[in-house]
């Protein structure tokens, strides 16, 4: 197959050139069982099988959402247990774009169409007779729960509190001046 066509197909289906070449070789092996290379149907059939194999690959990838923060497929495959590096990127985006944080049973945000939930839980340590608070982020679409540091958790809490304070200040600014209201009411005998 011409390398340019294979590169274009690989790009279209979100795979490396090496993966695309592997699909091409698999297709050739399948078609070789039925046709000789001299047969006019050989190369067209190889191309169709290669495209079908690539489509299956790209359908699998579409189930994992894209995000500016990370490539979820790589992130999940690496089985990353700690989420601090991830959360720091998320916090930067929240600050830059002033993304609203909702408080409902924890702190919830939506970035790039992906829902995140920040929470905490208390775990009893029977060995030391104490309780330990663990902070986490849940990436809802991926069913992923990552441990994060208290620093990053309280950074989200702080951002939420700043947003709430700003909302209250805006409400106060939009209230009418009561002295003007009273004078107007008196003027019109209300």
pLDDT digits 0-9 by tens, 138-184 = 777 777 788 888 888 899 899 999 988 988 888 777 766 666 666 67
Nearest to 12 by CA among 48, 45, 59, 44: 59
| Domain parsing of the chain, residue ranges | 3-62, 72-174
| Mean pLDDT, all residues of the chain | 78
Which whole-number Å values give the CA distances from 122 to 82, 128, 132, 133, 135, in the listed order?
18, 14, 6, 4, 9
Which whole-number Å values give the CA distances from 59 to 13, 19, 55, 149, 159, in the listed order?
9, 15, 6, 35, 37
pLDDT of residue 44: 86
Q: Please say whether the beta carbons of 120 and 136 come within 8 A.
A: yes
147: number of Cβ within 10 Å: 12
Higher-pLDDT residue of 85 and 64 is: 85
pLDDT digits 0-9 by tens, 50-68 = 888 888 766 444 444 556 6
Model confidence at 102, in pLDDT bands (50, 70, 90)? confident
Instruction: Name the range with the highest mean pLDDT among 12-16, 52-56, 83-87, 161-165.
Output: 161-165
* pTM > 0.75: yes or no: no
Structure tokens at 133: 């608070």
pLDDT of residue 63: 43
pLDDT digits 0-9 by tens, 23-45 = 889 889 999 988 888 888 888 88
CA distance 52 to 50: 5
């Amino acid at each position: 197959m011409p390398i340019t066509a294979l590169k274009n197909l690989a790009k279209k289906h979100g795979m490396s050139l090496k993966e695309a070449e592997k699909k091409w070789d698999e297709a050739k092996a399948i078609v070789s069982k039925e046709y000789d290379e001299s047969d006019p149907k050989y190369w067209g059939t190889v191309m169709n099988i290669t495209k079908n194999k690539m489509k299956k690959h790209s359908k699998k990838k579409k189930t994992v959402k894209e995000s500016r923060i990370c490539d979820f497929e790589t992130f999940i495959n690496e089985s990353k247990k700690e989420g601090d590096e991830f959360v720091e990127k998320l916090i930067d985006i929240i600050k830059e774009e002033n993304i609203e944080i909702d408080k409902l049973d924890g702190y919830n945000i939506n970035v790039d169409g992906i829902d995140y939930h920040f929470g905490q839980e208390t775990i009893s340590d029977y060995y030391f007779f104490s309780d330990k608070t663990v902070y986490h982020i849940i990436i809802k679409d991926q069913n992923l729960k990552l441990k994060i540091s208290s620093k990053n958790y309280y950074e989200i809490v702080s951002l939420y509190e700043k947003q709430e304070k700003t909302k209250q200040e805006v409400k106060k600014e939009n209230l009418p001046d009561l002295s003007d209201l009273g004078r107007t009411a008196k003027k019109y005998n209300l």
